[in-house]
Structure formats: structure tokens, C-alpha cells
Amino acid sequence: MGAGITITSSNFEQEVLQSPIPVLLDFWASWCGPCKMIAPFIDELAGEYEGRVKIGKINIDEENELAQRHSIVSIPTLMLYKDGAVTTKHNGAAPKRFIESLFKDVV
């Protein structure tokens, strides 16, 4: 199983905005209980959809500027980017199949 890639301010444009495939971003923090709950689902989906959907993880404590730019006020927050634009946003923990439903229609 694959794991999501780490997204930072330095690779955001290349990995997210210029991505030829949809990108699901997981805004999280190490101290966040609900973030830890969904982390295995995120990793499983990264492996299952490798090559069709890119799964990126943004640690809000390390990438505060990206969190502010995306108006993140609660975590976990999941955002789907397609063709360089946000198409879907979800706040809070969710079951694996719900997370999958955020991007299943665009792959």
C-alpha cells in the first residue's frame, strides 16, 4: 500500500496545481485525534488509486502558510483539486468509503 506524498510550500504548485490527475489534500496535525483516525484510510486510498489520484498530506504545523492560504480552521480537512482548482472540501473525520466518494467520480 502506498502512502500520500508530503505537500509543502515549495512543491505545492508542481504537485497540486500542475498535476495532470486529481489531487486529494489531507490537512492534518500530529496532535489531532480525528486526523489519526482517518490516516490509515488516506494511506490505503493512496495505494488503491495510485496513478489515478494523487493523495497529498499537509501538516498544518509545518506548513502554516498553506493552511492559511486555504482558510483551514478545523482539521482534518480534505480538499480535492482538479485542473488546478478546488472542486470539493470536507471538514472532519469520515469513513473510508466517504473519503473515496470525494474523488471517485473524477477518476
The three three-digit cell numbers of residue 34, written as one number: 480525528
pTM of structure: 0.94
pLDDT value of position 2: 59
15-68 pLDDT tens trace: 999 999 999 999 999 999 999 999 999 999 999 999 999 999 999 999 999 999
In this prediction, residue 81 carries a pLDDT of 97
Contact, 56 vs 28, CB < 8 A?
no
Q: Which of 16, 35, 58, 66 is catalytic?
A: 35
**75 and 61 in contact (C-beta within 8 Å)?**
no
Name the H helices within the chain.
Answer: 12, 33-48, 64-69, 96-101
What topology is assigned to 5-91 in CATH?
Glutaredoxin (3.40.30)
Q: Is 35 a catalytic residue?
A: yes
Residue 25 near residue 82, CB atoms below 8 Å = no
Active-site hit among 32, 60, 67, 75: 32
Active-site annotation holds for 88: no
Tell me the average pLDDT across 78-94: 96
Residue 5: per-residue pLDDT: 94
Q: What ranges do the domains of the chain cover?
A: 5-91
